[in-house]
Structure 1
Amino acid sequence: MNDSQPSALPAGFLWSATKAGIKASGKPDLAIAVAPKGASAAASFTQNQMVAAPILVGRQHMTTTGGRVTAVLINSGNANCATGQHGLDACATSCEAFAALANCPAEEVFPSSTGIIGVPLPVEKITAALPTAFAALADTEQAADDFRRGIMTTDTRPKSARATITYNGKSASIYGVCKGAGMIGPQVGPPHATMLVYLFTDITATPAQLRTALAPAVEASFNSISIDGDTSTNDTVLLLASGASELTLDENTSELFQNALNLVTKNLAFQIVDDGEGVTHVVTLHITGAATVADAQAIAKTIATSPLCKTAWSSGDPNWGRLMAAAGRAGVAFDPAKVYIHIGDQPVFEAGTRSPKFDEASAHAVMLQREYTIHMELNAGQAETRFLTCDLTHEYVSINADYST
């Protein structure tokens, strides 16, 4: 489930990236992908009420085409959010310029932006660079790598994952690419430093089938992570199917495809948290014994976004009191006297008080690991959830204190 495995890139797509001069660093900041024969599509967008221009335009394009995309246009270094009519016009202009090159309707261009909020998008730089990016389009490993690097902002490394499914001697591939390291507390849903995710597959599928597959994959991955709890104005997940393989998504292959898509999205979600700004510890919150899944998620999200919990994790402090305090304010009814908490394999809380088996030094040793799990058993039902989060460090504060300057 990673790029070290011999999984082929999906057929029917071309990728490239170039430098448009949007980033002050001079690094690549314009990434494009093209499906020469078009692709079926499904998308999830941020549920933040403050949305960027490309979200508004992307939603409209998906509605107009009924879920058909020929070209994907992504700029990094500028979010094109809170930029008024200029931002909408700039987005439309860039889509029209790309459509002319790709020989498709402007509505079949899917736009995305990531970067600083409130700065006018220099669309002239994008339109000037598009011919260079278009000329470099290819279906090679290098082109795919250029694409995933071109969408990065505060990421320290590119992120991608792959899977292949086979049925009756026919196969289809999935290639997922994402960026995100800060402003990560996604709430993405149908018609939902930013999280951008692009999933390419060569299976033959309708937009409706893709929407059906994408929703649970997003819920179990990107909607189950948090770095800082902040939901971006630009969060986007796009799933494209070129239909270039001999495999069709149907009752025989749907479970295989869903499982593969889930693996790719969970892999990408982990990479986002693992590369979080200033992250030194990746923590899985496993909440079990809840009355409902919604209750389990509410407790997990409250703990995951608690500054007190997150700062304790940064130093390996087994402060179980902070965990219980966060759970107790999550708006979920439960009996603290029935709760059990383990940090790794170390019991820390039970029956309403500190566990008699609590060994502070051993629990601290667990928390010094890069990755570990905190398990909270509520004994209130049968529902559970897993939620991926991280610590909060001085480096995170430094990065975000100076982000716009």
Structure 2
Amino acid sequence: MDKSLEQVGALPRGFEWGAVKAGIKASGKLDVAVARAPKGANAAAMFTRNRMVAAPVTVGRRHLAATGGRVSVVLVNAGNANCATGEPGIAACLESCKAAGDQFGCIFDEVFPSSTGIIGVPLPVEKLIGALPSAAAALGATAAHAETFATAIMTTDTRMKVARATIETDDGPVYIFGAAKGAGMIYPQLGPPHATMLVYLFTDLVAQPTDLREMMEPAVESSFNSISIDGDTSTNDTVLLLASGASGVGLDERVSVAFANALRLVCGSLAHQIVDDGEGVGHVVTLQINGAASYADAKAVAQTIAHSPLCKTAWSSADPNWGRLLAAAGRSGVALDPAATRIWIGAEPVFENGVRSPLYNEAAAHQVMLAREYTITLDLGQGEASCTFLTCDLTEEYVKINADYST
């Protein structure tokens, strides 16, 4: 059992978690995860901006709109994305939600569905529905139950991803628990409702869906919207925040600030865990872009570097080929003056005043890049805006995993 679940505060009250094996994953491992709020929960969600979306994304949007942001059950299957499955995929998703509503005693559109796995294969909905009675029996509110939920949603992940936080208030503590999955097809571009990353955030705060959305969006922007493993945006990406209200603690100015900060920390931890467990990842690289004219400019530079195969393969062998960084920044579409741009690998200066830094030490830069994690900093010299973006190298192992994914 992951010790962090035992040692960091309590789980949020008002929720139960569990998971079972339904035979959807070819491996035979846990593949159906359920989270239940027996008294219901208010919710806010952000979904992929990919125009090709999976059936559960379509249905999840509809259900949140129909209930005004009310969720009683989260139903997740792993091993099948239920994407590019047409109207039969929508029908299967709705069928599973109706069955879950019957099983757990709520209306069907208070069931929030998610799927992750291979695209284009019909969902074996009979297996999912058949597993619901045993899933109901497996529910509980302990750390072990939360762990099974976090484990069952994994696909190519090598370990579960969880994070927790406690907010102390005058009226008592408020707890946050987050569980995530994702290791490949990771470049989330999450927006408001209109291999995959799935994130479920639970809290016992008393909050309305509009309040949750207001605090959720900046937390997502600085975390999940600021990471990339391979530059591919999934069809199923979802972040769901649920508030049971079981703490009895409502929002005032002080609680709002504290909760927003704690939510950012939880989301940041989960985002880092996703990149650190990326398929074939050998190095986790933080891109710190400073001196930009705007945040959008800083992020555009970071994204272009993060998605450059030339940069990513250089990182895999700790090759301080800083010219690739400069070339990627130069094609980002952002105004760039080489004479004003400076680059560091770790604390090692590599580029300034339009040429290689006189202090550049290739061996020292290589040594920095041998570490599991390090930072590359670019100062564009154009303004005061900045962006922090988390990414990784591209290795032979990533190619092997994805070359054989469906066969």
**Which of 135, 152, 158 in structure 2 is aligned with 1:156?**
158
CA distance in 2, matches of 1:326, 1:4: 44
CA distance in 2, matches of 1:161, 1:2: 8
Q: Tell whether 2:142 aligns with 1:140.
A: yes
Which residue of structure 1 aligns with residue 227 of structure 2? Answer: 225
Q: Percent identity?
A: 67
Q: Tell whether 2:102 aligns with 1:100.
A: yes
Q: Tell whether 2:91 aligns with 1:84.
A: no
1:266-305 aligned at under 5 Å gives the runs 266-305=268-307
Which residue of structure 2 aligns with residue 252 of structure 1? Answer: 254
Paired letter, 1:88? I
Count of matched residue positions in the alignment of Structure 1 and Structure 2: 405
1:113-124 aligned at under 5 Å gives the runs 113-124=115-126
Which residue of structure 2 aligns with residue 63 of structure 1? Answer: 65
**Structure 1, gaps ≥5 residues long:** none
Which residue of structure 2 aligns with residue 356 of structure 1? Answer: 358
Paired letter, 1:68? R
**Which of 323, 326, 333 in structure 2 is aligned with 1:324?**
326
Give the alignment's Cα RMSD to 1 decimal: 1.0
Q: Tell whether 2:299 aligns with 1:307.
A: no
**Contact 2:6/2:143 (<8 A) preserved:** no
CA distance in 2, matches of 1:398, 1:350: 38
Which residue of structure 2 aligns with residue 128 of structure 1? Answer: 130
CA-to-aligned-CA distance 1:268-317 (integer Å, 9 cap, x gap): 00000000000000000000000000000000000001000000000000
Q: CA deviation at 1:394?
A: 0.1
CA distance in 1, matches of 2:375, 2:7: 27
- DSSP 3-state at the match of 2:316: helix
- DSSP 3-state at the match of 2:102: helix
Q: Tell whether 2:16 aligns with 1:10.
A: no
CA-to-aligned-CA distance 1:145-166 (integer Å, 9 cap, x gap): 0000000000000000000001
**Structure 2, gaps ≥5 residues long:** none
Q: CA deviation at 1:4?
A: 6.2
**Which of 210, 235, 248 in structure 1 is aligned with 2:237?**
235
Q: CA deviation at 1:246?
A: 2.5
Farther off after superposition, 186-195 or 302-311: 186-195
**Which of 162, 172, 192 in structure 2 is aligned with 1:190?**
192
Paired letter, 1:118? G
Q: Runs ≥4 in structure 1, deviation > 6 angstroms?
A: none
Instruction: Report the CA distance shift for 1:2/1:388 in structure 2 as closer, same or farther (over 3 A).
Output: farther
Q: CA deviation at 1:3?
A: 3.9
Which residue of structure 2 aligns with residue 48 of structure 1? Answer: 50
CA distance in 1, matches of 2:112, 2:171: 33
Q: Tell whether 2:187 aligns with 1:205.
A: no
Q: CA deviation at 1:401?
A: 0.2
Q: CA deviation at 1:113?
A: 0.2
Which residue of structure 2 aligns with residue 382 of structure 1? Answer: 384
Q: CA deviation at 1:252?
A: 2.7
**Contact 1:285/1:374 (<8 A) preserved:** yes
- DSSP 3-state at the match of 1:287: strand
Paired letter, 2:216? L
CA distance in 1, matches of 2:251, 2:400: 47
- DSSP 3-state at the match of 2:64: helix
CA distance in 1, matches of 2:140, 2:195: 28
**Contact 1:97/1:127 (<8 A) preserved:** yes
**Contact 1:192/1:236 (<8 A) preserved:** no
CA-to-aligned-CA distance 1:336-382 (integer Å, 9 cap, x gap): 11111000010011111111111000000000000000000011000
CA distance in 1, matches of 2:355, 2:4: 42
Paired letter, 2:209? P
Paired letter, 2:339? A
- TM superposition score normalised by structure 1: 0.99
Instruction: Report the CA distance shift for 1:155/1:168 in structure 2 as closer, same or farther (over 3 A).
Output: same
Paired letter, 2:170? N
Q: CA deviation at 1:250?
A: 2.4
Paired letter, 1:311? T
Q: CA deviation at 1:102?
A: 1.3
**Contact 1:12/1:37 (<8 A) preserved:** yes
Which residue of structure 2 aligns with residue 342 of structure 1? Answer: 344
**Contact 1:46/1:192 (<8 A) preserved:** no
- TM superposition score normalised by structure 2: 0.98
Q: Tell whether 2:257 aligns with 1:262.
A: no
CA distance in 2, matches of 1:4, 1:382: 42
Which residue of structure 2 aligns with residue 110 of structure 1? Answer: 112
CA distance in 2, matches of 1:39, 1:333: 46
Which residue of structure 2 aligns with residue 35 of structure 1? Answer: 37
